[in-house]
Amino acid sequence: MARKAATTNAMRHLDSRDVPYEALTFGPEIHSAQGVAEALSLPSERVFKTLVAMPTSGARPRPLLAIIPGDSELDLKALAAVADEKKLRMATQREAESATGLLVGGISPLALLHKRWPVYLDASAHNADWLVVSAGQRGINLRLAVDDLIAVTGATVAAIARSEA
């Protein structure tokens, strides 16, 4: 029996904008997009993960959020080029959790709108009308229209992912 999803800040943001979505629940022990895809019987290329990247220059670098398919890896050079940064690195798990206030496996661009961080969405998102992203809490993801995610987050769409080797 599926458990009832808690209401997260991401859901509140979508509700306040009358954006339709479907809450999908699974075990909170699952921390990866691939694991979510398997648990929900969804194609892994439709379950997107949100990664935190950090510029390597600047006294107080501002994090960037990269949303890519669960079956891909982030191309840091491509993201740096689109973000007009000289060089980027992946945030460590500790850095990502500290900066976002969310646990890895539950990091969501929708839950971080108040941070006003730049958001980048891989262009493959447009391969279908919908995608699945975290709701800002482990164990809950949201299925919503690609265009709605872009509109709410202000995401820049670009080719920033590559197939995992």
Q: What is the pLDDT of residue 31?
A: 86
Q: What is the pLDDT of residue 4?
A: 55
What's the predicted TM-score (pTM) here?
A: 0.93
38 with 125: CB under 8 angstroms? no
Give the right CATH number for 22-163 from 2.60.40.10, 1.10.760.10, 3.40.250.10, 3.90.960.10: 3.90.960.10
Q: Kind of pairing, strands 119-122 and 156-158?
A: parallel
* Cα–Cα dist 101/126, whole Å: 29
Domain boundaries, the chain: 22-163
* Cα–Cα dist 15/9, whole Å: 10
The residues near 132 (Cβ < 8 Å, ≥ 6 apart) are: 24, 36, 40, 42, 46, 47, 48, 141, 142, 143
Q: What does the pLDDT look like over 18-34, one tens digit per residue?
A: 999 999 999 989 989 99
65 with 50: CB under 8 angstroms? yes
Q: What is the pLDDT of residue 59?
A: 61
Q: What mean pLDDT is predicted for residues 66-93?
A: 96
